[in-house]
Amino acid sequence: MRIRQSHSRIGSLGVLGVSELGESIYRALLRHPALTPAELSGVLLVDETLLGSGIGELERLGLVTLAPGSPIRLHAAPPDIAVEALLNEQQARLQRARATIAELERERVQSADQRPVLEVIDSDLEAKRQPYSQSLERATTEVLCLVRPPFMVSAPGPRETTRTEARRRGVRFRNIVHPDTLQVPGWREVLKADIEDGEEVRLLPSIPFKMIITDRALGLLPLEAGNPTGPVLLLRRSAVLDALCGLFDSLWATAVPLGFRSDGSVSLGHAQSFSPQIDALVSLLASGVNDKAAAERLGISERTLMRRMELLYQQLNAKSRFQAGWMAALQASGAGGWSAAMPLGPRHDAGPS
């Protein structure tokens, strides 16, 4: 079989600096010692004029020696000596590189002290995607995502390789998705695949904007919530980023776990339960009773009821009694009301959103 005339390092010795051609020559000389260049050409079915670079490479690496005489004969160095020597050299280089990590980290920390807490990225699409991809590449523990329309494209493409690799490293992905996302063509399939790949996805109708936070150290969100192609905010460690992490945690606590049945239809789990006292209040709110009746049925004063209502507002991240009652109804029904209120079944009218 003719050896492919290539110098790419894809063979098993490539990591040691041996090209594919060089490795083919070395293996041939191990099987057929003391070949002349002409004989080697016949064994490998490679033109003799093309063997020179490979032979020179092996000679520089100490894998081949040339015996003087006419014609010259080629001898492969014993692998347990020659290859072992190359491995030791490679390990020494790796150790030197590893020793610089601490120094590089010190430089990174020093430069981080001088970086702005907030940056506005307002350029082309690729420049906006770059910090997103880099944040996933550096992720070590968790990625927090708020997902809602509008999106840059009418339908999503395959998930990024960086996201897949992050999951393989054990990075935890938590996604809170606005129900409208399920109506955008392609997103139902993407979310189903994410769940199957181990990501956690919850549904919540009160998502204020899109956002992604990596390791609670770097955040990306749009400057204009309704403009997916507009400027992007990059946030580093700060009180602002801490507040956004807190917002995510509170939204996560009230969001409903999202799943998919075998037929592709949506299944919804149960949101987080509160204390027994608050759970009782949630049940009454869901049934629509007024404050006085609720206080009487709970056996408390209206002032105590108001305090519990305030606590419920905080836990639900609600801004009004109406919103709290609506979200509480979802909680009390185990999200059963969502299916009636929103078209979560499979869509058949795929088209641009």
> How far apart (Å, rounded) are the C-alpha atoms in residues 83 and 66?
18
* Higher local confidence (pLDDT), 257 or 316: 257
Per-residue pLDDT averaged across 264-284, rounded? Answer: 68
Structure confidence at residue 1 (pLDDT) = 36
Per-residue pLDDT averaged across 308-314, rounded? Answer: 78
Domain limits, the chain: 14-96, 123-268, 276-333
**6 and 19 in contact (C-beta within 8 Å)?**
yes
Per-residue pLDDT averaged across 165-190, rounded? Answer: 91
Instruction: Decide if pLDDT at 259 tops 80.
Output: yes
Helix H or strand E encompassing 346: none
Contacts of 10 (CB under 8 A, 6+ apart): 20
> Could you tell me which CATH number the domain at 14-96 has?
1.10.10.10
Structure confidence at residue 227 (pLDDT) = 82
**57 and 19 in contact (C-beta within 8 Å)?**
yes
**295 and 305 in contact (C-beta within 8 Å)?**
yes
> How far apart (Å, rounded) are the C-alpha atoms in residues 230 and 339?
33
Instruction: Decide the pairing of beta strands 211-214 and 266-268.
Output: unpaired
Per-residue pLDDT averaged across 294-313, rounded? Answer: 84
Per-residue pLDDT averaged across 342-352, rounded? Answer: 35
> Could you tell me which CATH number the domain at 123-268 has?
3.30.870.10
Amino acid identity of residue 80, one-letter, is D
Average pLDDT score over the chain: 80
Do 123-268 and 276-333 share a fold?
Answer: no
Topology of the domain comprising 276-333: Arc Repressor Mutant, subunit A (1.10.10)
pLDDT tens digits along 64-87: 998 888 888 999 999 999 999 999
